[in-house]
Structure 1
Amino acid sequence: MSISQAAASEAVHGRSGSEFRRGVMSCLPVLLGTVPYALVLGAQARQKGLSALELPMMTGLNFAGGSEFAAIQLWTSPPHIVLIVAITLLVNSRHLLMGAALAPFLRHLPRRKAFAALFFMCDESWALGLADARRRAGANVTPAFSLAYYMGAALAMYVAWVAFTTAGALLGPLLGNVEPYGFDMAFPAVFLVLMAGMWRGVAAARPWLVSLVVAALVYLLVPGAWYVAAGAVSGLASAWLMAGDA
């Protein structure tokens, strides 16, 4: 490798490291908000009989908090595997829409990097990565999607989620029932913060309202987790129908 090539490689790695740190730092406020309900999930899982080894395997391989909470609520001894798998697929169906929204920004990446990025995608890292890509696109920065920034946020969330759910499982017997402390309120609070960061005006937020109303009605009227898919599909359909009005 020539001196010029070495210098260019060092500059690229320097930028990647800086972008990675930027992703970690931007994720910290949201990450701190996930700690309480990670502890809640770990404590609930331990109460249902999962060991401190089984829980990090679940959270590390699935990495989707909503479906993990649903699975723990449905957990029995012996567990109803088919029901838990079905509900997990249903709750995680929102990732299809999330991946579709992120896909246009991933086209410049090799498939192996794009698939790795999508494996670590969660609601928080997706929202941060998408918002950052849109800002960079608006500023004519190429490429708009910073993989290093996204992976900094995604890996920080991944490590924290697995670590603190495991901590919740270990501390569960000492903490007892943690729900009266209000830790579970951190879950909706984090999503409200993410929505605020993605706010682009009332007109752009109309599909959010449609999704909210449909999901709430289905939650009240239909048993099970169908409200997740109903809210996602209705939001997508309304966004498509209202696109001409924007």
Structure 2
Amino acid sequence: MSNVGIRREAMTEGKPGGSLPGTGSRAELRRGLRASLPVMIGFVPFALVLGAQASAKGFGAIEVPILTGLNFGGGSEFAAIGLWTSPPHLLLIAGVTMLVNCRHLLMGAALAPYLRHLPRRRVLPALFFMCDESWAMGLADARRRADAGRPQPFSLAYYIGVSIGLYATWVVFTALGALLGPVLGDITRYGFDMAFPAVFLVLLRGMWKGMRAAMPWAVSLVAAVAACLLLPGAWYVPAGAVAGVLAACAWVRP
């Protein structure tokens, strides 16, 4: 980026309310869209898998994008579809969805120090589009900019650019999966379901801070796998969540 571009962006960031309409914001929006392209490609296979699984459970091509558009959280949507029966156990599905999505509380808390300079009327609508990937990319970008000495490191326009690309890809391709599901059959036999853990591992690598910080993740993984193998139903969700929180409390530095 040229010196002129840097000065223009700094002037935009310095205004009250953070990123405002202008050249700097448009450039940041495009930067977020470009950065999200590899993740968007990774979204496509497991969005198709979710749409096909929902179609097999009786969801239509209109109902699937409503589900994925209103609850933009891939893990909880897979859990809800996996637990769906006829008639559905709504309290069970709602409880598991809440447990899976409660990680957003910690994700939001991690972003909070970077959002204090922004008005709530902008932050709250933007956080509706927060998923694991947009959160990780927004936080990593804010940390890089903080290390570079930016006075307001979190770029709301960059985060929105990332979120727009990921949200649109998810909703469109889950709907496409619902349409193609009856034609393609079980598309997990093509290995599409591996896209979700692959994308997640790449993001995790970018946020790696050493073994000590990763220990709660490892404990949560072991607990969830053990519960999945030994207990019926979706008990691996609360088991992994509780084990991870307890491990984080045990390993936290004074």
Given the two structures, how large is their TM-score scaled by the length of structure 1?
Answer: 0.88
**How much is the aligned-residue C-alpha RMSD, in angstroms?**
2.1
Aligned counterpart, 1:93 = 102
The residue type equivalent to 1:217 in the other structure is A
The percentage of counterpart residues that share the same residue type is: 63
Q: Would the aligned equivalents of 1:91 and 1:225 in 2 still touch at CA under 8 Å?
A: no
Q: How does 1:1-246 map to 2 (within 5 A)?
A: 13-244=22-253
Question: Which blocks of at least 5 consecutive residues in structure 2 are unaligned?
Answer: 1-10, 13-19
Per the TM alignment, residue 213 of structure 1 is displaced from its structure 2 partner at its CA by 2.5
Q: Taking structure 1 as reference, are residues 184 and 99 closer, same or farther at Cα in structure 2, changes over 3 Å only?
A: same
Per the TM alignment, residue 233 of structure 1 is displaced from its structure 2 partner at its CA by 4.3
Per the TM alignment, residue 31 of structure 1 is displaced from its structure 2 partner at its CA by 1.4
Question: Which blocks of at least 5 consecutive residues in structure 1 are unaligned?
Answer: 1-7
The residue type equivalent to 1:242 in the other structure is W
Q: Would the aligned equivalents of 2:96 and 2:237 in 1 still touch at CA under 8 Å?
A: no
Following the alignment from structure 2 to structure 1, what is the Cα–Cα distance between the partners of residues 145 and 244?
Answer: 25
The residue type equivalent to 2:157 in the other structure is A
Number of residue pairs aligned between Structure 1 and Structure 2: 238
Following the alignment from structure 2 to structure 1, what is the Cα–Cα distance between the partners of residues 241 and 153?
Answer: 26
Per the TM alignment, residue 225 of structure 1 is displaced from its structure 2 partner at its CA by 3.4
Per the TM alignment, residue 175 of structure 1 is displaced from its structure 2 partner at its CA by 1.0
Following the alignment from structure 1 to structure 2, what is the Cα–Cα distance between the partners of residues 104 and 176?
Answer: 46
Q: Taking structure 1 as reference, are residues 225 and 132 closer, same or farther at Cα in structure 2, changes over 3 Å only?
A: farther
Q: Taking structure 1 as reference, are residues 16 and 45 closer, same or farther at Cα in structure 2, changes over 3 Å only?
A: same
Per the TM alignment, residue 229 of structure 1 is displaced from its structure 2 partner at its CA by 3.9
Following the alignment from structure 1 to structure 2, what is the Cα–Cα distance between the partners of residues 98 and 26?
Answer: 20
